[in-house]
């Protein structure tokens, strides 16, 4: 009976969620339909999907506002109308773009995050419940929905697989459709069904029995499970303490050196700040000694660490300029520092102020002209223009190629153009033109090949032959493709055998030295030519002394050619693709070559 009652309760919660969040449900159904069309037609409906998601988030956030502050049905209808109007406004903005850019994705994601935080925060505004309780209820609902949805998807997937293997063929799209229905439709609705009805003005419209039921569900939802309490207090907090000690030791040892330039540390510090704030909120309702100790000590540790992170990120701007990523790192650091200071002095019941701050910073970061994208675009265009002007490479909105500028300026130009192209801003820059293509036009525009930052700041080289580039094969007797992969020990050492003027010759690769050699011999064993492959790769290693990657996109055949000649033979090697990948551990060499052989 208990099982049946539990099932009825869950089903009743789903039905209640449909009536509680009608606008959200409508948009979720629309999103599922749009995604179904995208799966079947293999088309891009991203802007429609994002619009539906924005409408769904607006729907449940405005519903929370109505429940907390209003009781009249007319106000609820007005809130629904406002949500529809804002969703329409969003669609009119994104439909102007021919494609969904990274900027649109990030802006939308930040806006959705702000709406979700508002949904959690609104019930706690001047309420008998705290933000900590609301956050706990949402936290539990999220992971419950994630677990149920995961099990449901896995179960349906197994059923589809069984039908496909045992009964009849099932379309491969069936798995995507299952994920679509479970992920976009079931999971969000089930999540919302687990959110309790918080105390608010709308309680005036409810019967005493409903109010009593809501209070009981609220108490269950806001209570921290024993499992989670043990996990936070006796596992997560001790682990975070050890991690903090490691960070503090590293910062103390490198405060006058690598700390300010170590790119690996920045995401670690941001992750640390997120973890500290998240655990602080989750531990706010716990009364054991470890949770109390954490709330007392960690905010004081958080503040100086994030201040160091803000300063380090600001210093790196001098080298990289402002990007949207760097903007968000700094603005999050400011938020974390303010939050840490507040946590040091205010009671845990006031944690809603932290949520309000987070919402404010999120909205600030996407509203022009102070948003991440307007500022980063302006900074990168200014950086690029200043460098071009300083090297006399631009006049009357025309760029004049110049390969003789300094390596530092080449890197600035490459970094800025790479970023502007990634964000799809190049069409808005007059001196680049609307049709500028990063891969095909960079060399012709600036006179040198673009640089790309490597993950370890070690120089790596990637070269590609333009497939449309003609190759002059006159005078050569043999044309063959050689695949050279340094770590492939199973490759056949013989590349080819051929005849010329009645004699037989063999071209082989020998595993001598670190990389190997290419050897041309007659059948009697007489060696005609030996090419050290290290010299071949060194010929293409154009970044000696640099701390960046170099990409040569669409080289012509002359640029891609390396020739060795003696009185017996001539061999030309044309790089189709070549990669010299350098890291802190080793350098690896891989390439595909056209090999042209001439016997004299």
Are 218 and 235 members of one domain? no
Are 468 and 559 members of one domain? yes
26 in a structural domain: yes
Are 425 and 472 members of one domain? no
In the structure, what pLDDT confidence band is assigned to residue 45 with cuts at 50, 70 and 90?
confident
Asked if residue 543 has pLDDT above 70, the reply is: no
Are 408 and 290 members of one domain? no
Query: What is the rounded CA–CA span in Å between residue 32 and residue 22?
Result: 15
Please compute the mean of the pLDDT values over residues 411-431 and round it to a whole number: 88
Asked if residue 456 has pLDDT above 80, the reply is: no
The radius of gyration of the chain's CA atoms, rounded to the nearest angstrom, is 31
235 in a structural domain: yes
Which of 343-347, 459-463, 595-599 has the least mean pLDDT?
Answer: 459-463
> What does the buried/exposed string (b/e) look like for 401-410 if buried means 16 or more CB atoms within 10 Å of the residue's CB?
ebeebeeebb
Q: 277-331: per-residue pLDDT in tens?
A: 999 999 998 888 999 999 999 999 999 999 988 988 888 888 888 999 999 999 9
Are 307 and 332 members of one domain? yes
In the structure, what pLDDT confidence band is assigned to residue 10 with cuts at 50, 70 and 90?
low
Contacts of 111 (CB under 8 A, 6+ apart): 54, 362, 363, 366
494 in a structural domain: yes
Closest CA to 510 of 500, 529, 569, 570: 529
Asked if residue 96 has pLDDT above 70, the reply is: yes
595 in a structural domain: yes
Average pLDDT score over the chain: 86
Phi, then psi, of 404 in degrees rounded to 5: -95, 5
Number of domain units in the chain: 4
Asked if residue 275 has pLDDT above 80, the reply is: yes
| Cis preceding-peptide flag for 466 (omega within 30 of 0) | no
Phi, then psi, of 96 in degrees rounded to 5: -70, -25
Are 346 and 398 members of one domain? no
Are 413 and 553 members of one domain? no
In the structure, what pLDDT confidence band is assigned to residue 465 with cuts at 50, 70 and 90?
confident
Domain boundary, last residue among 352, 386, 411: 352
Of 27 and 516, the one with more pLDDT:
27
Query: What is the rounded CA–CA span in Å between residue 548 and residue 536?
Result: 21
Contacts of 289 (CB under 8 A, 6+ apart): none
Please compute the mean of the pLDDT values over residues 458-462 and round it to a whole number: 67
Asked if residue 267 has pLDDT above 90, the reply is: no
Are 162 and 305 members of one domain? no
Are 52 and 102 members of one domain? yes
Are 41 and 161 members of one domain? yes
Asked if residue 143 has pLDDT above 90, the reply is: yes
367 in a structural domain: no
Of 360 and 579, the one with more pLDDT:
360
Q: Looking at residue 455, what is its pLDDT?
A: 42
Please compute the mean of the pLDDT values over residues 137-159 and round it to a whole number: 94
Q: Is 82 helix (H, G, I), strand (E, B) or coil?
A: helix
361 in a structural domain: no
Of 387 and 555, the one with more pLDDT:
387
Query: What is the rounded CA–CA span in Å between residue 515 and residue 575?
Result: 16
Q: Looking at residue 488, what is its pLDDT?
A: 62
Are 387 and 484 members of one domain? no
210 in a structural domain: yes
Domain boundary, last residue among 194, 222, 250: 222
Q: Of 75-84, 388-397, 425-434, 528-537, which one has max mean pLDDT?
A: 75-84
Please compute the mean of the pLDDT values over residues 157-166 and round it to a whole number: 91
> Can you give the pTM of this predicted structure?
0.77
480 in a structural domain: yes
Residue 465 parent element (H or E): strand 460-465
3-state secondary structure 371-437: CHHHHHHHHHHHHHHHHHHHCCCEECCEECCCCCCCHHHHHHHHHHHHHHHHCCCHHHCCCCCCCCC
Q: Are 30 and 23 in contact, with CB atoms under 8 Å apart? A: no
Are 271 and 247 members of one domain? yes
Domain boundary, last residue among 396, 418, 453: 453
Please compute the mean of the pLDDT values over residues 12-20 and round it to a whole number: 80
Task: State the residue range of the domain holding 411.
Answer: 374-435+447-453
Q: Are 54 and 222 in contact, with CB atoms under 8 Å apart? A: no
In the structure, what pLDDT confidence band is assigned to residue 454 with cuts at 50, 70 and 90?
very low
């Amino acid at each position: 009976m208990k099982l049946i009652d539990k099932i009825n309760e869950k089903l009743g919660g789903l039905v209640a969620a449909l009536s509680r969040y009608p606008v959200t449900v409508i948009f979720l159904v629309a999103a599922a339909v749009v995604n179904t069309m995208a799966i079947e037609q293999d088309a891009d409906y991203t802007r429609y999907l994002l619009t539906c998601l924005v409408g769904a988030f607006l729907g449940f956030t405005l519903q929370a506002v109505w429940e907390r502050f209003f009781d009249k049905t007319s106000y609820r209808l007005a809130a629904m109308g406002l949500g529809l109007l804002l969703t329409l406004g969003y669609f009119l903005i994104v439909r102007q773009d021919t494609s969904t850019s990274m900027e649109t994705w990030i802006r939308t994601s930040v806006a959705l995050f702000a709406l979700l935080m508002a949904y959690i925060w609104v019930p706690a505004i001047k309420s008998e419940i705290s933000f900590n309780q609301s956050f706990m209820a949402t936290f539990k609902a999220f992971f419950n929905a994630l677990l149920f949805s995961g099990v449901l998807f896995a179960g349906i997937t197994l059923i589809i697989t069984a039908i496909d293997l045992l009964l009849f063929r099932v379309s491969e799209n069936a798995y995507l459709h299952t994920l679509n229905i479970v992920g976009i439709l079931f999971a969000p609705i089930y999540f919302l069904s687990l959110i309790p009805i918080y105390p608010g003005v709308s309680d005036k419209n409810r019967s005493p029995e409903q109010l009593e039921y809501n209070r009981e569900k609220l108490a269950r939802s806001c209570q921290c499970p024993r499992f989670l309490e043990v996990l936070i207090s006796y596992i997560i907090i001790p682990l975070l303490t050890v991690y903090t000690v490691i960070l503090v030791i590293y910062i103390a040892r490198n405060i006058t050196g690598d700390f300010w330039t170590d790119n690996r540390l920045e995401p670690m510090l941001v992750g640390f700040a997120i973890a500290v704030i998240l655990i602080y909120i989750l531990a706010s309702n716990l009364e054991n000694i470890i949770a109390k100790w954490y709330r007392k000590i960690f905010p004081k540790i958080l503040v100086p660490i994030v201040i160091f992170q803000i300063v380090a990120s600001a210093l790196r701007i001098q080298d990289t300029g402002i990007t949207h990523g760097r903007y968000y790192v700094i603005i999050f650091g400011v938020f974390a520092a303010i939050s840490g200071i507040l946590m040091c002095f205010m009671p845990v019941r006031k944690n809603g102020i932290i949520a309000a701050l987070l919402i404010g910073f999120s909205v600030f970061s996407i509203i022009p002209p102070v948003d991440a994208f307007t500022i980063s675009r302006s900074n990168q265009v200014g950086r690029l223009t200043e460098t071009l002007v300083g090297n006399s490479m631009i006049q009357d909105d025309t760029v004049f190629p110049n390969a003789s500028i300094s390596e530092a300026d080449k890197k600035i130009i490459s970094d800025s153009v790479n970023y502007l192209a990634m964000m799809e801003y190049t069409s808005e820059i007059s001196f680049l033109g609307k049709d500028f293509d990063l891969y095909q036009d960079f060399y012709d525009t600036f006179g040198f090949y673009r640089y790309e930052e490597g993950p370890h700041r070690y120089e790596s080289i990637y070269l590609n032959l333009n497939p449309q580039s003609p190759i002059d094969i006159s005078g050569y007797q043999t044309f063959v493709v050689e695949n050279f992969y340094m770590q492939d020990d199973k490759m056949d050492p013989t590349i080819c055998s051929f005849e010329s003027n009645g004699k037989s010759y063999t071209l082989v690769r020998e595993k001598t030295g670190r990389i190997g050699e290419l050897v041309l011999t007659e059948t009697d064993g007489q060696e005609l030519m030996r090419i050290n492959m290290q010299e071949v790769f060194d010929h293409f290693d154009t970044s000696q002394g640099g701390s960046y990657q170099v990409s040569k996109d669409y080289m012509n055949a002359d640029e891609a050619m390396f020739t060795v000649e003696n009185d017996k033979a001539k061999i030309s090697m044309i790089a189709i693709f070549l990669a010299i990948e350098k890291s802190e551990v080793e350098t690896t060499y891989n390439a595909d070559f056209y090999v042209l052989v001439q016997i004299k």
